[in-house]
Structure 1
Amino acid sequence: MELPDLTAIEAESRQLALAASPFELHGGLCGWLAGGGTAVREWPAKVLADDALPTPAEGGALDELREASAAQLADRSFDFALLLPASDTSLAERSGALFDWCRGFLGGFGLAGGGKIKLSDEGQEALADLGKLAAAQPQSDGDEEDEIALVEIEEFVRVAVLLLHGDCVLATQHRQRLN
């Protein structure tokens, strides 16, 4: 299941007066889901820790974002995708969006887990690395090496999210099936 169009997500986010970029919202949603949060329609209120936020319209871009993200994380084919700007946008914009995505992820993950998540050693390392990325600042320009590095970092983030989801959600589901 593919993620909805970025412009549709931006428009619905503005309409609902959500105080986060689409990238930070998607990161928060994925962090919430990877940390064991449920894929509920009122996810922005959960992810942004504000119960007064409105629930996205059923079938709208934010609802589709929730459904697609939950399906991608649960899919065993590793087709999980990060919501980021197109590859033809500037390096600064793309790296800034990735760092926003990581900040959102950490917030959603922390809210879902409530500090009681047991992670593997690899999961702990991945979470620490995501924290370093969340604290990073985008460069104003770069060369081809920087472009290649950004692609590698995006892939690392994607795999780290799948690892954390595996530690927190899939491992729990597997243990429940065994009992």
Structure 2
Amino acid sequence: MADSTTLDFPSVQAILTSEGIEAHAAEIHGVLTGLIAAGFEFESNDYVAMVNDMLNNAEGLPSKVKSVVKDIYSDIWQKILDDSYSFQLMLPDDDDSIVERGHALGKWVQGFNLGFGLQQNKSATLSEDVKEVLTDFGEIANLSDEVEENEDTEQAYFEIAEYVRISALLCFTELGSAPEAKDKSATLH
């Protein structure tokens, strides 16, 4: 990464806010992950236009935001192809309130479903597992923001977030298209 932007939720959200983009970092990460999991080609740059349409009424993203979107995209690819499953959802830190984290998880899942839907080939037959994931994600996206700060809610949040993470990887395993091996070392560091 050229400008060494930290790709965590607070850093990305701060860039969006400072550039006047009313978007949620978790949602952008979810959209890009959904695209990739549904078989988006690594070499394609259409994702920038898609995010632009989604975020800024297609008025062109500020260069700083475009840059961070590209960094997130590369980062997702790098981590989703990593054999040690280092892929993580971009969500607020554990010290943020459970309400904020639950809201962000809902946004991530909405984003994933949107990205997945934009990319998914209508003729592609989805396995029962993937259909179930998309149904579950729809329900998770609609979880209430009215949650109590307690141990049970924390536990449920971690379990749901882990389920979402593993499910996104499952979708990628089934539908994703890994970059050509010859490009991998050159492009993915």
Task: Normalising by structure 2, report the TM-score.
Answer: 0.77
CA distance in 1, matches of 2:109, 2:66: 26
Contact 1:32/1:47, CA 8 A, preserved across alignment = no
Give the corresponding residue for 1:123: 130
- Select which of 5, 8, 11 maps to 2:8: 5
SS at match of 2:176: helix
Deviant stretches of 4+, over 6 Å: none
1:122-169 per-position Cα deviation (integer Å, ceiling 9, x unaligned)? 111111111111122222423101111110000000011011111111
- Select which of 161, 169, 174 maps to 1:167: 174
- Select which of 137, 145, 158 maps to 1:138: 145
Relative to structure 1, the CA distance from residue 75 to residue 91 in structure 2 (aligned partners, 3 Å threshold; closer, same or farther) is same
Task: Give the drift of 1:63.
Answer: 2.2
Task: Give the drift of 1:109.
Answer: 0.5
Contact 2:39/2:177, CA 8 A, preserved across alignment = no
1:1-53 per-position Cα deviation (integer Å, ceiling 9, x unaligned)? xx713333124334655442111111011011111123455634224645543
Deviates more, 1:67-76 or 1:101-110: 67-76
Paired residue type of 2:49: A
Give the corresponding residue for 1:177: none
Give the corresponding residue for 2:90: 83
Q: Which runs of 5+ in 2 are unaligned?
A: 1-5, 181-189
Q: State percent identity of aligned pairs.
A: 29
Contact 2:15/2:64, CA 8 A, preserved across alignment = no
CA distance in 1, matches of 2:145, 2:169: 24
Paired residue type of 2:131: Q
Paired residue type of 1:27: G
Task: Tell me, yes or no, if structure 1 residue 46 matches structure 2 residue 53.
Answer: no
1:76-95 per-position Cα deviation (integer Å, ceiling 9, x unaligned)? 32211000000011111110
CA distance in 2, matches of 1:55, 1:35: 27
CA distance in 2, matches of 1:134, 1:54: 26
CA distance in 2, matches of 1:135, 1:11: 25
Relative to structure 1, the CA distance from residue 71 to residue 55 in structure 2 (aligned partners, 3 Å threshold; closer, same or farther) is farther
CA-based RMSD of the aligned residues comes to: 2.7
1:110-131 per-position Cα deviation (integer Å, ceiling 9, x unaligned)? 0011433322211111111111
CA distance in 1, matches of 2:22, 2:123: 27
Aligned pair count reads 170
- Select which of 21, 27, 34 maps to 1:24: 27
Task: Tell me, yes or no, if structure 1 residue 107 matches structure 2 residue 103.
Answer: no
Deviates more, 1:136-145 or 1:104-113: 136-145
